[in-house]
Amino acid sequence: MTKSKIVVVFYSTYGTNHGIAVAAAEAAEAAGAEVRLRRIPETAPDAVVASQEAWKAQADRMADIDKISNEDLLWADGFYLSSPTRFGGMASQTRAWLDTLGGLWMAGSLAGKTITASATAQNRNGGTEGAIQQTYVSAMHFGMIPIAPGYTDPVKSEDGGNPYGFSAQPGELDETGRKSVAHQARRLVDLTTKLAK
C-alpha cells in the first residue's frame, strides 16, 4: 500500500506546540505515513524575539526545522497543525501564513486533503476550542476535510475532552497528552490512507 504523506506544521513561541508537533510526527510515522515536520515562519521582528529570553531560546531550538513551503503543501495528503491560542483565536503567525495561501486556494490545490488540529492556551478554558475551530473553518475554504478526534478513544475522556482536537496548557506533554496526540495523528493517517484508495 502507498504510504500517505503527512505534513506536521506548527507555530510555537515557547515550545509547547513544538513538543506536540514532534509527538504527532513520531506517531504518524509509526502509523506508516511518510512525514515532514515543518514550522510556520515567525512574523515578529528579531529585536522583539531577542528581547524575551524564553522566546529567543525557542527560536534557536527550532532553527534547524524547515519553514513550511507551498511545495510541502502540494506534496502532502494530510496535515496536523498545532498553534497557540491568542486572544481566543489562533496565533497571528499561523493566520499570517494561512493568508499567504490565496494562490493555492484559487487553484483548488488543497481540496480533498485532510487536516486535524491542536491548540494550546495558558488557561484551561482560554480559547483552544475556538482556535481549533477557526483552523477548520479556514481549511474548509480550501476544500480540505477536517478530521476531528471526537471521542473516538478512551483517552479523550482523560485529556480534558476537547473533541475538536487535542488541547493543552503550556509545558511538556504528559503521558496522557502524548497518548491523545498519538491517537489523533493515527486517526489522521488511517482516514487519509482510506481516502487515497
Query: Where does this chain bind ligand FMN (CB under 6 A)?
Result: 12-17, 84-88, 120-123, 126-127, 170
CB of 141 to ligand FMN, least distance (A): 23
Q: Supply the DSSP string of 101-167, one letter for each residue.
A: -HHHHHHTTTTT-EEEEEEE-SSTTSSHHHHHHHHHHHHHHTT-EE---TT-SGGGGTS---TTS-E
Closest to ligand FMN by CB, 15 or 32: 15
Distance CA 116, CA 69 (A): 19
Q: Which residue's CB comes closest to ligand FMN? A: 126
Closest to ligand FMN by CB, 121 or 181: 121
Q: Using the 8-state DSSP alphabet, how is residue 82 labeled?
A: E
Burial class (CB in 10 A: 0-12, 13-18, 19+), 4: buried
Distance CA 181, CA 169 (A): 14
Closest to ligand FMN by CB, 78 or 126: 126
CB of 110 to ligand FMN, least distance (A): 24
Closest to ligand FMN by CB, 69 or 122: 122
* Cell, residue 114: 485532510
CB of 122 to ligand FMN, least distance (A): 3
The residue count of the chain comes to 197
CB of 36 to ligand FMN, least distance (A): 19
Distance CA 136, CA 142 (A): 10
Closest to ligand FMN by CB, 51 or 122: 122
CB of 128 to ligand FMN, least distance (A): 8
* Cell, residue 174: 504528559
CB of 19 to ligand FMN, least distance (A): 8
